[in-house]
Amino acid sequence: MTDKNILTENKARAVVIIGITGDLARRMLIPSLYALYRDNLLPKDIKLVGASRSNLTTEAFRALVAESLMQFVAATDRVPVKMEGFCQSFEYAAVDSAKPETFAVLADILGNVKNSEVIYHLSTSPNLYGSICAALQSAGLAHDKARLLIEKPIGHDLTSSRAINAAAGAVFDEERIFRIDHYLGKESVQNLLALRFGNMLFEPLWNASHIEQVQITVAETVGVEGRWGYYDDAGALRDMVQNHMLQLLSLIAMEPPAGLDSSSVRNEKIKVLRSLRPIGSDNTAIDSVQGQYSAGSIGGTSVVSYADEEGSKASNTETFVALRAHIDNWRWAGVPFYLRTGKRLAERSTEIFIQFRSVPHSIFKAAGAGLSPNKMIIKMQPEESIQLYLMSKVPGLDRDGLKLKAVPLNLSFDHVFSKQPRRIAYERLFLDAINNNGTLFVHRDEIEAAWQWIDGIHNGWQQSGQPPHKYASGSWGPTSAIALTERHGHSWHE
């Protein structure tokens, strides 16, 4: 990796979203661009262009943009005059990568900025990334100032991800490709860097000598949300672990980077991913658990099983996965990293739980007081907080013996930063891409190292032929997930 791309003088002059009529664009991309426009954060005179295969008039397209703002922007964030200005500044191009000649229209719309810094954001099926890149190239749009933004899933396994990366790489240099993992746009995820490398307190303890175990949980209450076709093909391992969870793991486990530039941060993450001990046919049975939700109740409302979701067929796809991972390097030798994610779980919660080791000798034992190890809980969603559990003496004269208790130091970011507006992850990612800053985007080598590890787990599952364990919607997953940690003397933090 050679790119050093905090080059703010290379601000983009246009953003083109290809696949603008799709769900992601309507829910996230249009509202995020609108928020930046409303707050005057976009470069002056930036061109905004939506593109898709549909034959829409400019008026019909702008009506669609307005509709998505009404539907997906909170009423308190809607400023009518800004919404109107935003819609009017959006142009539309009907393009079809199967007919590359249609991209000439896009070139016309870009006009005098077409040879400048233009961002092409592909919000389409990844199967089309290769042909869209080729069509951009044939229209003369993929020159060396153009940038490509692509969404997950980058492939279904290592082979297909390599094919996608190669097709995009045949047209755009790696430093011009910005792969999105929307978790990296989240404030709470970026805060992991501040916590680890902006404080002297933690780094000396951040290793196998002082940490007993780490747990990363991304629990969702939602089901497949009408995306059964996509989801059934992916499953929880590919949909969540390959990308979001391995990004969290890398940020928690990496060595201090030399700086905040993209090469430094991404190089350290890659080292972590390459140090993951393979989980394959020998150990999937002890180091992994798959589950699939059955009917149950979430927040008092009954929900159907995965097998009864709209559009479903008989399926052994996992909607829950728990893993015991190891990072085979000096810092983390012997420390289990438990990863757990699932749909239709008891609550929505993304958190990182770190349990420190016990003190080497307790001076309180003779006095009958027990000690529990220090714990740190980094809550990332829905609220952001850090709790650090410390042992404290319970006040009193100790006539019945000394008593100690683990009490939390609580830091609530929502409280401390209550006046700071909260941004959607995509707002941050758009701005960074506009400013040509790749730190919060994923390098090809990260994607491929992650797939290599994930493929091993999948192959192990396939060889075992074990179907996922059922779990009731509204629970914390199958009971075998409890055994995964307890077998090693640990238990899930809930």
Nearer to ligand BG6, 62 or 458 (CB): 458
| Cβ–Cβ under 8 Å, residues 262 and 269 | no
Question: Of 135 and 252, which has the nearer Cβ to ligand BG6?
Answer: 252
CB of residue 309 vs ligand BG6: minimum separation in angstroms?
Answer: 13
**332 with 326: CB under 8 angstroms?**
yes
Pairing outcome for strands 177-179 and 147-150: parallel
The nearest distance, CB 219 to ligand BG6, in angstroms, is 10
Q: Which of 169, 173, 177, 163 is nearest to 127 (CA)?
A: 163
For ligand BG6, the closer CB: 223 or 257: 223
Residue 14: phi and psi, rounded to 5, are -155, 145
CB 280 within 8 A of CB 456: yes
Q: Can residue 239 be called a binding residue for ligand BG6 (CB under 6 A)?
A: yes
Count CB-CB contacts under 10 A for residue 144.
Answer: 8
Find out whether 458 and 237 touch, Cβ atoms under 8 Å.
yes
- Note whether 117 binds ligand BG6 by CB under 6 A: no
**Binding pattern to ligand BG6, positions 218-237, x when CB under 6 A?**
--x-----------------
Binding-site size for ligand BG6 (CB under 6 A) equals 3
State the minimum distance, in angstroms, from the CB of residue 239 to ligand BG6. Answer: 5
The string of DSSP letters for 339-390 reads: EEEESSBSS-EEEEEEEEPPPSS-TTTTTT------EEEEEEESS-EEEEEE
Nearer to ligand BG6, 96 or 151 (CB): 151
Handedness of CA 47, 51, 56, 61 (dihedral sign): negative
- Is 309 among the residues that bind ligand BG6 (CB under 6 A)? no
Residue in 414, 396, 413 with CA at minimum distance from that of residue 405:
396
Positive or negative CA dihedral for 159, 160, 165, 166?
positive
Minimum CB distance to ligand BG6, residue 38 (Å): 22
Q: Of 470, 247, 251, 461, which is closest to residue 342 (Cα–Cα)?
A: 470
What is the closest distance, in whole angstroms, from the C-beta atom of residue 380 to ligand BG6 in the complex? 9
Residue least distant from ligand BG6 (Cβ): 239
Instruction: Pick the catalytic residue from 244, 443, 458, 493.
Output: 244
Comparison of 220 and 287: residue with beta carbon closer to ligand BG6: 220
Give the whole-angstrom CA distance, residue 164 versus residue 483. 38
Compare residues 203 and 225 and give the one whose CB is closer to ligand BG6: 225
The answer to whether the beta carbons of residues 448 and 313 sit under 8 Å apart is no
Token pair, residue 315, equals 């399926």
CA 97/CA 52 separation, integer angstroms:
10
Q: Which of residues 372-411 bind ligand BG6 (CB under 6 A)?
A: 381
Shortest separation between residue 241's beta carbon and ligand BG6, angstroms: 11
244 tagged catalytic: yes
**In the bound complex, what is the minimum distance in angstroms from residue 220's beta carbon to ligand BG6?**
5
Nearest to 64 by CA among 53, 50, 76, 80: 50
Specify the length of the chain in residues.
494
CB of 278 to ligand BG6, least distance (A): 24
Q: Which residues contact ligand BG6 by CB under 6 A?
A: 220, 239, 381
**Which of the residues are catalytic?**
244
